[in-house]
Structure 1
Amino acid sequence: MDDLACAFKERRATIGVVGLGYVGLPLALAALRAGFSVIGFDVNPERVARIGRGEPVIAHLDGEAMRAALATGRFSATGDMARLAEPDAILICVPTPLTRQREPDLSYVRATAADIARTLRRGQLVVLESTTWPGTTTEVLKPILEATGLRSGQDVFLAFSPEREDPGNAVHTLAGTPKVVGGDGDAARDLAVLLYGQIVARTVPVSSTATAEAVKLTENIFRAVNIALVNELKVVYDAMGIDVWEVIEAAATKPFGFMPFQPGPGLGGHCIPIDPFYLTWKAREFDVATRFVELAGEVNRAMPHYVVDRLALALDRRRGRTLHGAEILMVGIAYKRNVDDMRESPALKLTELLEARGARVAFHDPLIPEIPPTRAFPHLTGRRSVALTRGALEACDAALIVTDHDGIDYGAIVAHAPLVADTRNACARAGFTGATIFKC
């Protein structure tokens, strides 16, 4: 432990990051900037090769910083899991999705744990960052590692520190965001705090790995419930002829007791649509109901259906036609503004629902030239973005704004599309109004 602590303090330790996606790659670069040597591990050979060539794999990341890191010789990417013996600390940043039955899928965590166990040596710190249910670190990860004969807290050290990455957020960076840390014992917690203390501005130690796991779920459940609330208010206020965005903007002027959340066409991203159900699943073990969480999930999952119904209504009233045979141009398909991330994007469900009702759907997204493979919508893989031209806008029956990227010409959409269905209030925020705009 003392040797490892000195290596962290002096920043001469080697850090291994498993999973070079939207969480792992920014973390690897932050560790490099702090002065550590970093080995990145990923099972996707194409991603490893692109990173090794210094090519951008995530749009909002500083590609120049990655190329500079490669040039120092302190950073490398590999798919060779046998090299997991080399790092002094291994940070696990792999996906934790849901199954089609909405139950936790820890296959990536278990596979990574098995890879680590094959080369595990005394004096290594292993930290899980992937969001999961309280108890995963000690109930799933620990037994796999201890099957090697090495003991947590004596030979190796085990901790949990939830990722707090917000892709595309230039204000709250990884290094500037406090890092919650829980350990399997005081020694592991202190070592993890010491490591992250070199990388981020502030660490927040908690009493256990389960507490740290619960912190992450609580953060995302808070967001999921409040987004569900404003989505439900949108439905109610629409029926009353009230603009929910105007209501929220006015309510946000109250300097206390109110936090604005924005409605939308449904939840997206890897966290908010998924993480709350890790708690509902675990809560069943204790015979406890999670009614708020499950109700929020129902409301948010219903939003794509609501948007399609509103679009159908708008086409009927303003264009005198049905969805069947209609040409829909979907504007923006990323799960959030200004990122190239399609994970759990409501655009995928919207496309499926629209096409099930006979519409023909094309899309434009300046950050996503092609729909990548997804677990739930494999039939949409490979579809390509079309140019947002005057001709494309005039040829469609409706432009459906799903993701409000900054780089989109909303003036052209309002000027040339015969109907604009805006799920993000993007046109109004850009200063455009008109009879063709229908908020939904």
Structure 2
Amino acid sequence: MKVIQFEDKPLAHYSYAIISGNEMVLVDPARDPKPYYLLAEKHNTKIKAVFETHPHADFVSSHLQIHKETGATIYVSKLVGANYPHQGFDDGNSITIGEIKFSAINSPGHSPDSITVIAVDDEKNHAMFSGDTLFIGDVGRPDLREKAGNMKAKREELAQSMYHTMQHKFNHLPNETIVYPAHGAGSLCGKNISTDSQSTLGRERKENWAFKKLTEEQFVSHILKDQPFIPSYFGFNVDINKKGADNLKNSIAKSTFHFKLDHSNLKNILIVDTRNKEDFNKNHLPHSINIMAQTEDDKFETWLGSIVKPGELFYIVVNSINERDNMLNRVAKIGYEKQLKGVITLSDVNYIESESLKLEEFKDRLDNFTIIDIRNKSEVEQGKVFESAISIPLNKLRDSKDSIPIDKPIVVHCAGGYRSAAGRSIISNLVENISVYDLGEEVNKFKK
């Protein structure tokens, strides 16, 4: 059994191609199908099937586009109520492609319509593509389907379902079964996911907390505690994936392009500036929010979908025309390309420059500043950096104008400097005649 794992690092998303002979199967493909097509060309294989383990919340899948362009059959649980051409794939269903038998296990918990896809080759090698049910070191969060999808379910109900899934659904599989999850560390679909990209079922049975001998009550209490925040776009993506996304290239082609913009007439519309904070601070358009997207380590997609609401129109600013296509693809990964008005590069016209914090003055006179901590609730609960800080998570900042004092200069901090750039830019748009500073990476000098 030949399994190729693809990683979308900003979203900590894993997708898979399984090759047997001259046939290929895909599991939970990302928005852009091109990498899978290139692999099929390289190995001279035909894409025969696409398995969707559930309607994903954190990214848009290309399953419908792949079906239209290759003729591959989409297999998904009948419980999804999918609006695209598909075959139901649930307990008792199986198909053979090449020399591999694929079968379905309904594995509710992360969502009520999740399946785990089991692959067994002619040498009895076992693999499980567990979607967002079983991660390495953790299981999927159960609190994303209360307001989205064909089947809505309360978090307590799904937590109970996950308990029974972990207790009963995989017992017949050998310890040697290789576990291939849909996400790794950094995903908001779980809270303590390992950095390992795969494991064995035997190892997970020994090390994963979800396989421990817990009562249902203990399990439910643990899984519901300290889950990360839910980004605005998660329910939006569930609905897109239930319907099937439009063709990627056609969809991103509709945004406009403004080269070396030399006048600011973009009033009453959000500007998302993706440049690094040094360039942003030197010069940026009014109403801009600085969500950096310079490397794969920048969690641009997650924060775009957390700060900007589904349906809200916006422009993005990039450094160069060379970045345009990449940024369009990153926006489309979370289905936001239809609300993107256009892409902008800036001319040398001076717009707005951000003030720099005088660190020594801040360090000596903390009481002269309002300090705003934009880390997530669970981070703050582990300990404050500044006792006097006001805690407002970044994803809630745009709606928190009334919670921000305006009697002193404001200093914004996060855990390491990436989020605070966005936070400073958001608060600057909310207050007038008050200096707003980004503590940035210097926050590390204040940690105990």
Instruction: Point out the structure with the larger helix share.
Output: 1
Larger RCO of the pair (alpha carbons < 8 Å, separation 6+)? 2
Instruction: Point out the structure with the larger strand share.
Output: 2
TM-score (norm 1): 0.32
TM-score (norm 2): 0.32
